[in-house]
Amino acid sequence: MAGELEHGHAILHPKFGRGLREECGGQDVCKAIIPSAAKVGGLGTAIDVPLHYKRAAFVRSHYDSFEVGVPDAPLQDEIVVIAALTDSGRPLPRIGGLKKEEVKGEDGLR
């Protein structure tokens, strides 16, 4: 509540992102951007955390979000950082486009 939206971004880029990439297979595997969202709010404010495929951002079957809220945070001088990970995309995608099996993994897009 006492901070700015940019304070959250300063935590995420690049230190948090680098550690998250390492946990998910390293820079050679995790080429796509790490999608993010930011919000200023009081106790229990919910945020939709965006998701997509770690090797290529254009794999639409993995486009989704995960709603998270922490009932007793953030306090006045706190920042909440949330990471949401999945082990697959949507179970029955009908959105078309690039499939996970077709990813080349060269540029983080396709």
Q: Where are the domains of the chain?
A: 5-102
Q: For the segment 57-106, what is each residue's pLDDT rounded down to a tens digit?
A: 999 999 999 999 999 999 988 999 999 999 999 999 998 999 999 999 88
How does residue 45 score in pLDDT terms, banded at 50, 70 and 90? Answer: very high
Whether pTM exceeds 0.75:
yes
Rounded Cα distance between 42 and 54, Å, is 31
pLDDT of residue 22: 93
Q: How many CB atoms lie under 10 A from the CB of residue 34?
A: 19
pLDDT of residue 108: 92
How does residue 25 score in pLDDT terms, banded at 50, 70 and 90? Answer: very high
Residue 16 three-state SS: helix
